[in-house]
Amino acid sequence: MASTQTYPKILHADQEHAGLRTAVFVLLFISFILAFFGIRALLTALSDAGTPDYAFVASCGGALPLALGLVWVVEKLMKQYWPSGRAVVLTQDGVQTKAEGAEPIKLDAANDVEPTAWHFDMRGWQRGGRERRLPRTWLCLAVELKAEKKQISVYTYMPSQQADSWLDAENGRIQFHKISPKDVYDNSIRSRMSGPSRPEIPAAVLTGADGKYWLAERRRWTEGFELPPKEFEQFMDHIQTTLEL
């Protein structure tokens, strides 16, 4: 529970940052090459007739899972020891942001904080970037905390089964409103040929019933702090306790 935490508690955001993704790609390439030649050399050493005919296929087939396994382990370690420099900090009386080159934003119990919470799924629209790499069964859950001119946007991606407890309308927590990306994303064949991109949100959507959620979603694209599911749940429990939301 939040009361047992030692403060401040830093929740590192955007763990799959650009530097890490580049390093993972390079490591995957190098690992595959090394595994390929390693397996090929082993097969040659075990054969009395030199390099066997099946060496190329076997080396390719064996190198890929080896490289993927190695990169998966290294990526887990890199996420722990190579932070993005952006974080959400839980404090004794509230929450604040931390980002290189930007002033921290702090909200506490003294502020009149208004939460806006929304969610959407990964099906039926043209995803790009981070969202494109997620399973279609996952959801995005997002919360924007706003007090006067200050606002903090925090979000996560998680499996639908895990998200269900947060979307239960009878659980007494902040209620997440569902929005549909299909309302704003262009799914035409032409758009698919040109590649995914963030859309211009139609005025009719912004002035409609979901308008405030789409305004918050648009801010999430540029200002949001992505947390892993476990850390997002810590964040949610904390703000509901300290900010009395």
pLDDT in tens, 20-39: 778 888 988 999 999 999 99
The span from the CA of 150 to the CA of 111, in Å, is: 10
CA distance 148 to 235: 21
The reported pLDDT for the residue numbered 171 is: 59
How many DSSP H helices and E strands does the chain contain?
8, 9
pLDDT tens for residues 66-76? Answer: 988 988 888 78
> Is pLDDT at 160 greater than 90 in this prediction?
yes
End-to-end CA distance of the chain: 16
DSSP output for 91-143:
ETTEEEEEETTS---EEETTS--EEEEEEEESSSS---HHHHTS-TTEEEEEE
User: What is the arithmetic mean of pLDDT over 5-28?
Assistant: 85
Higher pLDDT, 143 or 3: 143
Give the pairing of strands 150-159 and 9-12.
unpaired
User: What is the average per-residue pLDDT within 108-114?
Assistant: 90
Give the 3-state secondary structure of residue 83. coil
pLDDT at 129: 84
Confidence tier at 1 by pLDDT (50, 70, 90): very low
pLDDT tens, position by position, 83-108:
888 999 999 999 999 998 889 999 99
Q: Name which of 174, 117, 112, 115 is nearest 147 in CA terms.
A: 112
Sheet holding 225-226, edge to edge: 177-178, 114-121, 138-147, 150-159, 225-226
